[in-house]
Amino acid sequence: SQVEKGGHRHFMAKEIAEQPIVLGDALSHYLRGEGMEMPAPGLDFTEFDRMVMVACGTANYACVVAKYWFESLAGISVEVDIASEFRYREPPIPPRTLALFVSQSGETADTLAALRYCEGKAARVVSVVNVSESSIARESDLVLPIRAGAEIGVASTKAFTCQLTVLFLLALMAAHDRGRLDAEELEARIAALRQIPGLMNIAMASSDEIAAVAKSVSEARDVLFLGRGAMFPLAMEGALKLKEISYIHAEGYASGELKHGPIALVDKTVPVIVMAPSDHLFDKTVSNMQEVMARGGKVLLITDVKGARAAGDGCWKTILMPEVDPLLAPILYALPAQLLAYHAAIAKGTDVDQPRNLAKSVTVE
Ligand code: G6P
């Protein structure tokens, strides 16, 4: 009903809009006062040499973002796999491996099977779930709830940003345990994370502008999403969102991989959505955009003021995000990616909350 949708037209719209609040709640659950209530009591990251992270769909992209965090902040190697592959390829699980499973529902059959596989190999099993009474939660040694509240829209939105938030906290904890982050640096990172809900509120103000671009995007047959570093998995998530609810073919690529194939698709009918906060690699992203423009491609750049200035003229459209710690940008930039997919679906008239052929929770193989 309208009431359940909080006055929004769709659950997805409500779930996108409530992210600043939901994220703030999740943060206050894990963070007390200035410091950090250890999100995972009893977990000591000096006991592990590597991690495997396994999930499906959007949760898998949250894992890929987190890989960048765990590796760069905590210096721990992370392998990420989709559950349907992981469970059958007999991956070796050496001692001192932490196995981490991410699932909104906690009931995804492949993810649960992957968890049981790791348990069979005597790995420590931690899960990041939304539903705390789920099978995956029940079978884990330690459960970290994302506290996103019920997510009704089939396309995951707030669960994704809450998964990222909890995974970032866990990466900070890992970095601290492993002596890579002193108390002062930890505090600075946490302070940056605490800013995200406020920045999301600012980003929400771009909704009308995004709706206008989404209208043109909805006329495309193919769309490319590009990102670098931790924004690469977000490019894949942006493409997934668009596919799921608007049925437009979309691919997410690492910006540097453009020249190794996808550039062959580029012409004036293909929107290329570049999601890039101004970071130390931004000039490389600018040259990727120039390669697209030189072939007549339409670049939609989602960046901050500094990035827009550095990119110069030539973009088809620019959407401005507030400035953010580049490491945390995937959480903030998830919002425009979700809004773009949502408004493209509205323009096409598809069933946003119940897209064809998809299920909220895939409990059978
Ligand atoms: C389904 C949903 C996706 C979700 C995936 C994993 O395919 O449609 O939105 O990302 O399952 O679900 P989980 O509950 O394990 O996060």
Radius of gyration of the chain (CA): 20
In short, whether 114's Cβ falls inside 6 Å of ligand 1 is no
List the alpha helices (DSSP H) in the chain: 11-17, 19-30, 57-69, 83-86, 109-120, 135-138, 158-177, 183-194, 196-204, 207-217, 231-246, 282-294, 305-311, 329-348
State what percent of residues in the chain have pLDDT above 70.
99
Contact 2, 328 (CB under 8 A): no
> Where does the pLDDT of residue 34 fall: very low under 50, low under 70, confident under 90, or very high at 90 and above?
low
Cβ of 72 below 6 Å from ligand 1? no
C-alpha 58 to ligand 1 mean position (Å): 6
pLDDT at position 64 over 90? yes
Asked if residue 107 lies in contact with residue 57, where contact means CB atoms within 8 angstroms, the answer is no
**CA 46 to ligand 1 center in whole angstroms:** 31
Q: What is the DSSP-derived secondary structure letter of residue 295?
A: T
Note the pLDDT of residue 37: 72
Q: Tokens representing 101?
A: 């499973």
Partners of 82 in beta bridges: 55
d(CA 76, CA 46): 10
DSSP secondary structure code for residue 258 in this structure: G
Measured from the CB, is residue 104 less than 6 Å from ligand 1?
Answer: yes
**Angle (deg, nearest 10), helices 207-217 and 329-348:** 60
Give yes or no for residue 56 having a pLDDT over 90.
yes
Q: Is the CB of 290 under 6 A from ligand 1?
A: no
Q: Choose the residue to mutate in 56, 60, 353 for probing ligand 1, maximizing ligand atoms within 8 Å of C-beta.
A: 56
DSSP letter assigned to residue 327: G
Pocket test for ligand 1, best of 105, 240, 358 (most atoms within 8 A of CB): 105
CA of 176 to the centre of ligand 1 (A): 31
* Mean pLDDT on 26-51: 85
Render pLDDT for 287-335 as a digit per residue (tens, 0 to 9).
Answer: 999 999 999 999 999 999 999 999 999 999 999 999 999 999 999 999 9
Reported ipTM: 0.97
Phi and psi of 222, rounded to 5°?
A: -130, 145
Task: Give the model's pLDDT for residue 32.
Answer: 77
Residue 293 — φ and ψ, nearest 5°? -65, -35
Pocket of ligand 1 contains residue 154 by CB under 6 Å? yes
How many angstroms is it from 2 CA to the middle of ligand 1? 25
Cβ neighbours of residue 314 closer than 8 Å, sequence gap 6 or more: 289, 290, 293, 299
Give yes or no: 360 in active site: yes
CB atoms within 10 A of CB 201: 16
- Check if 146 has its Cβ closer than 6 Å to any atom of ligand 1: no
Name the burial class of residue 149, with classes exposed (0-12), middle (13-18) and buried (19+) by CB atoms within 10 angstroms of its CB. middle
101 SS3 class: strand
Tens digit of each residue's pLDDT (9 = 90 or more) over 248-294: 999 999 999 999 999 999 999 999 999 999 999 999 999 999 999 99
Residue 33 has pLDDT above 70, yes or no: no
Pick the catalytic residue from 5, 121, 348, 360. 360
364: DSSP letter? -
Residues 179-194, mean pLDDT to the nearest whole number: 94
User: Per-residue pLDDT averaged across 99-123, rounded?
Assistant: 97
* Ligand 1 nearest atom to the CA of residue 57, by list position: 10
Flag whether pLDDT at 40 surpasses 80. Answer: no
Pocket test of ligand 1: the residue of 361, 363, 364 to mutate, having most ligand atoms within 8 Å of its CB, is 361
pLDDT above 80 for 211: yes
Which atom of ligand 1 is the closest one to the Cα of 155? Answer: 9
Would the CB of 103 count as within 6 Å of ligand 1?
A: yes
| 130 pocket-lining for ligand 1 (C-beta < 6 Å) | no
